[in-house]
Amino acid sequence: MPRQIHFNAFDMNCVGHIQQGLWAHPRDRSMEYNRIGYWTDYAQRLEKGLFDGIFLADVVGIYDVLSGSPAPALRGAVQVPVNDPMMLVPAMAAVTQHLGFGVTANLMYEQPFLFARRMATLDHLTGGRIGWNIVTGYLDSAARAIGMDGQMAHDDRYDLADEYMEVVYKLWEGSWEDDAVVADRGAHLYADPAKVHAVHHHGRQYKVDAVHLCEPSPQRSPVLYQAGSSPRGRQFAATHAECVFVNGQKKEGVQEIVSDIRTRAEALGRRGDDIKVFLGATIVTGRTEKEARDKFEDYRRYVSSEAALTHAAASMGIDFNKFDWDEPVETGKSEAITSNIKAMDRAAGPQWTKRKLLEQMVLGSRQPPLVASADQVVDWLVDWVDTTGVDGFNLSRTVVPECFDDIIELVIPRLQERGLYKTAYSEGPLRQKLFGTPRLPDRHTGASHRVRHG
């Protein structure tokens, strides 16, 4: 059987996510993000269309890098206002049975003990459909909000994250034995104390002496996602991630990242295919190329250049308004998403300018849309999977919900005809669906913290 392609819908609990300005399109419904019915309808739509999951981004600060002000972000709804993504999950889980939930949570600002409980709760309530996109953030505004002068240096954030992971693995994997819960009404015995163990972690950043508060959930550790592909980010991914989210405009660049992360994982005793890689993509499609092109021209009228620059400035950590239109942008000292800067260097050459950047943002972000008929989209997807080794795609929204309806009605059936997409969900938790096993495999570093029986 040919390799199956995976799809996640890529969104955020906000109005303007990636393609900035499209919320102003008359058919776009993203302004309803603060109503529960919007999300339950969304989840049902995706599940009917056999999407693997919904992947929710998050930031915990405002975008105030462009002109050193939050005003452009507020004007253009550039990922602000932004509500908590985790709160959406139980509502969406209640109306679906199979859809996975990849939720971004920044580990910098929350104690691992409390976070471990929140994720375990979601794993219980979803029947094991929760994934965690592990991020360390890229915004000084977030650090200032919780009393720091600015964020930690780029690589130091990953060091902190390594220790954080050790703590949460100990809690999820090592505190409760599988048969600790007896639930014997007659004996008045709920949990066997001998099978519930306190975690003792005394590290550089964290100190925990406690029993994990949740009984074992279907997956124990959530499915672990990571996005960020600097050298340090790749090493972190190779160590912890089961799904990696990459962006990239050139196949060679993406292919290099994919094979490097898999090689690094193998060096750590994992298997290359223990990691599934999802490529970020924006697709505008129709029955014919002309229909797709007309749709794109219609969408384009609503793009906001200021909002697009606001987002790019924050994610790259560069105030583009300090540069003239044709002056090369100085990128050297960024502490933000360095892989985004590298990708821009690759796409436009090292001497790129604000004008070049804006020319790239044709639909409101640096992610160029594929504008093509459904047949052409299928060919494009297959070509990227074959040449880069990615396993699937995180599909950014354009005009919601029609952008996902197009994928469901036009693209997925064509992939199915070619045997490249499932025709029904398989059973079990999210990890089981993706990797054939509900728990972390023994060769994953998290498994080394498993409680030893007897």
Does position 253 interact with ligand FMN (CB under 6 A)? The reply is no
* 141-156: b (≥16 Cβ within 10 Å) or e: bbbeeeeeeebbebee
**Span 152-191, contacts to ligand FMN by CB under 6 A:** 154
Considering only 21, 72, 76, 137, the residue that binds ligand FMN (CB under 6 A) is 137
Considering only 282, 339, 373, 396, the residue that binds ligand FMN (CB under 6 A) is 339
Residue position matching structure tokens 């005809």: 417
The least distance separating ligand FMN from the CB of residue 39, rounded to whole angstroms, comes to: 17
CA atoms of 30 and 9, how far apart (whole Å): 14
Q: Which CB atom, from 281 or from 362, has the smaller least distance to ligand FMN?
A: 281
Residue 39 and residue 47 in contact, taking contact as beta carbons nearer than 8 Å: no
Look at residues 136, 91, 85 and name the one whose alpha carbon lies nearest to residue 110: 136
Q: How many residues bind ligand FMN (CB under 6 A)?
A: 21
The least distance separating ligand FMN from the CB of residue 139, rounded to whole angstroms, comes to: 7
CA atoms of 451 and 360, how far apart (whole Å): 51
CA atoms of 334 and 319, how far apart (whole Å): 11
Does position 135 interact with ligand FMN (CB under 6 A)? The reply is yes
What lies within 8 Å, CB to CB, of 129 at 6+ separation is: 53, 93, 98, 99, 100, 101, 123, 429, 430
The least distance separating ligand FMN from the CB of residue 305, rounded to whole angstroms, comes to: 22
* 423-433: b (≥16 Cβ within 10 Å) or e: eebeebbbbbb
Considering only 11, 58, 64, 242, the residue that binds ligand FMN (CB under 6 A) is 58
Does position 338 interact with ligand FMN (CB under 6 A)? The reply is yes
Considering only 42, 63, 164, 245, the residue that binds ligand FMN (CB under 6 A) is 245
Does position 57 interact with ligand FMN (CB under 6 A)? The reply is yes
Does position 228 interact with ligand FMN (CB under 6 A)? The reply is yes
CA atoms of 101 and 119, how far apart (whole Å): 11
Residue 218 and residue 427 in contact, taking contact as beta carbons nearer than 8 Å: no
Q: How far apart are the first and last CA of the chain?
A: 42
Residue 215 and residue 207 in contact, taking contact as beta carbons nearer than 8 Å: no
What lies within 8 Å, CB to CB, of 260 at 6+ separation is: 234
What lies within 8 Å, CB to CB, of 279 at 6+ separation is: 246, 247, 248, 254, 384, 388, 390, 392, 393, 394
Q: Which CB atom, from 7 or from 302, has the smaller least distance to ligand FMN?
A: 7
Does position 337 interact with ligand FMN (CB under 6 A)? The reply is yes
The least distance separating ligand FMN from the CB of residue 228, rounded to whole angstroms, comes to: 3
Residue with the shortest CB distance to ligand FMN: 233
14-22, 43-51, 226-234, 419-427 -> range binding ligand FMN (CB under 6 A): 226-234
Q: Which CB atom, from 80 or from 214, has the smaller least distance to ligand FMN?
A: 80
The least distance separating ligand FMN from the CB of residue 232, rounded to whole angstroms, comes to: 6
Does position 230 interact with ligand FMN (CB under 6 A)? The reply is yes
The least distance separating ligand FMN from the CB of residue 135, rounded to whole angstroms, comes to: 4
Interacting residue ranges for ligand FMN, rule: CB under 6 A = 57-59, 104, 106, 135-138, 154, 227-230, 233, 245, 247, 280, 337-339
